[in-house]
């Protein structure tokens, strides 16, 4: 299976413009034979908005943004994972959706909010990330900061996840860069899974993004890596190619939780 990743410069508060950019990436990825396009955290709205702006732009799961993503997926016959501001009653969540060409969808709400700005704008998701089937591969979603908590990623691995999609908005900086360069490959290796880590890039308001998006294999090796500008990556995901890796590093089966239960 071919997986694509769109490292994207967002346009603040302009869902139509961002959806147009995602559609162009979906068309290109589909032409290359990709089955899935993963885009960044809040890629449909931009990330650097105020709480009031997020409250105004947020939509339900049956809103125009998810509907437009479904139409793009159907038109180009490619599944799309994208971030959006989700409204549920009075609460607003930092969410991700995966839409399939047939109209089916999966949703996830960010569990670990980063910094005062996110905590002012969003409610934290309260459900554990779930695992679903995508093209025969057990798949889950996280968002940005979530992947930096090893026990949270491990919950997906123990539930059988083989592929984890991580839309992110990683800020630029020497410390943040270690997340993309070191933490994400380590999470893939220690859990024997593929991770697709899709970052924003460029500048948005006062924020600068790291870029450095990456697709990582279960052995921790990079299958594709972006720089700091807009980029479309494509990599092949083949589970059987890593059977020996999992046999040599059987972390999941050799765990002894009674030794480190909190």
State whether the Cα torsion 249-253-254-256 is positive or negative. positive
Considering 59, 86, 106, 110, which one is annotated as catalytic? 110
148 is catalytic: no
φ, ψ of residue 81 in degrees (nearest 5)? -110, 125
* Exposed e or buried b per residue across 196-225, where buried means at least 16 C-beta atoms within 10 angstroms of its C-beta: bbbbbbbebeebbbbbbbbbbbbbbeebbb
Q: Which of 21, 81, 106, 144 is catalytic?
A: 144
Cβ pair 165, 147 in contact under 8 A:
no
Catalytic residue among 21, 41, 106, 162: 41
What is the Cα–Cα distance from 5 to 224, expressed in whole angstroms? Answer: 9
The answer to whether residue 77 is catalytic is no
Residue with tokens 């339900």: 60
Those residues whose C-beta lies under 8 Å from the C-beta of residue 9, and which sit 6 or more positions away, are 200, 201, 202, 204, 230
Q: Which two tokens stand for residue 19?
A: 């959806």
Instruction: Please state, as a whole number, how many other Cβ atoms lie within 10 Å of the Cβ of residue 182.
Output: 11
The whole-angstrom separation of Cα 246 and Cα 254 is 11
The residues carrying an active-site annotation are 41, 110, 144
């Amino acid at each position: 299976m071919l997986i694509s990743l769109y490292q994207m410069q967002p346009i603040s508060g302009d869902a139509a413009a961002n959806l147009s950019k995602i559609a162009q990436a979906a068309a290109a990825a589909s032409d290359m034979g990709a089955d899935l396009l993963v885009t960044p955290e809040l890629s449909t709205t931009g990330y650097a908005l105020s709480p009031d702006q997020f409250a105004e732009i947020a939509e339900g799961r049956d809103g125009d943004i998810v509907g437009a993503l479904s139409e793009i997926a159907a038109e180009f016959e490619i599944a799309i994972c994208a971030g959006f501001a989700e409204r549920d009653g009075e609460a607003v969540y930092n969410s991700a959706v995966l839409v399939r060409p047939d109209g089916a969808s999966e949703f996830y709400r960010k569990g670990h909010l980063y910094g005062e700005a996110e905590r002012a704008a969003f409610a934290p998701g309260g459900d554990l990330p779930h695992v679903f089937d995508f093209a025969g591969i057990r798949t889950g979603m996280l968002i940005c900061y979530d992947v930096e908590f090893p026990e949270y990623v491990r919950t997906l691995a123990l539930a059988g996840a083989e592929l984890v999609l991580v839309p992110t908005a990683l800020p630029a900086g020497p410390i943040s860069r270690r997340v993309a360069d070191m933490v994400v490959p380590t999470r893939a290796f220690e859990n024997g899974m593929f991770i697709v880590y899709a970052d924003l890039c460029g500048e948005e308001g006062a924020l600068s993004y790291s870029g450095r998006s990456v697709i990582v294999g279960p052995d921790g090796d990079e299958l594709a890596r972006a720089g700091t500008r807009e980029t479309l990556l494509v990599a092949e995901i083949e589970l059987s190619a890593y059977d020996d890796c999992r046999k040599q590093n059987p972390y999941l089966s050799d765990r002894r939780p009674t030794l480190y239960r909190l």
